Amino acid sequence: MSNGQLLPAREIEDRLKRRYLDRLAERLKRMRKNLVDRNWSELKAECRQIRLNGEDFGFNELVNLAAALELNIPEGDISRSKPLPGAKIAAEGLLAAVEVVLQSRG
């Protein structure tokens, strides 16, 4: 609105949600690459962002899956050569859920 009027709260919320989903699409690409590259620390950072912001927009399943994946990635510097089977399984579940959310955003 260019005449100085404030946007309705619902419109602001819708815009923020669209922005979150746009970023989620980019995050999905990075997460896939991080999983293939076994870049565990970056994958964990992406999960943290999903977890921190997803609940605000009603994506509780994504928040829970991201939290589960975070728990399967140890703290500290993790060798990329180290397989983390629990993290791989948790990541695949999260990635599938993100895809569903993105496909249904219409």
H-helix segments, 38-84: 40-54, 60-71
Residue 57's Cβ-side half-sphere holds a number of Cα atoms within 13 Å equal to 22
What are the pLDDT digits (tens) for 34-76? Answer: 999 989 999 999 999 999 889 888 999 999 999 999 999 888 7
Residue 76 φ/ψ, nearest 5 degrees: 90, -175
Determine the angle formed by the axes of helices 85-103 and 40-54, rounding to 10 degrees: 40
Output the pTM of the full model. Answer: 0.83
pLDDT at residue 92 greater than cutoff 60: yes
The overall longest dimension of the chain from CA atoms, in Å, is: 57
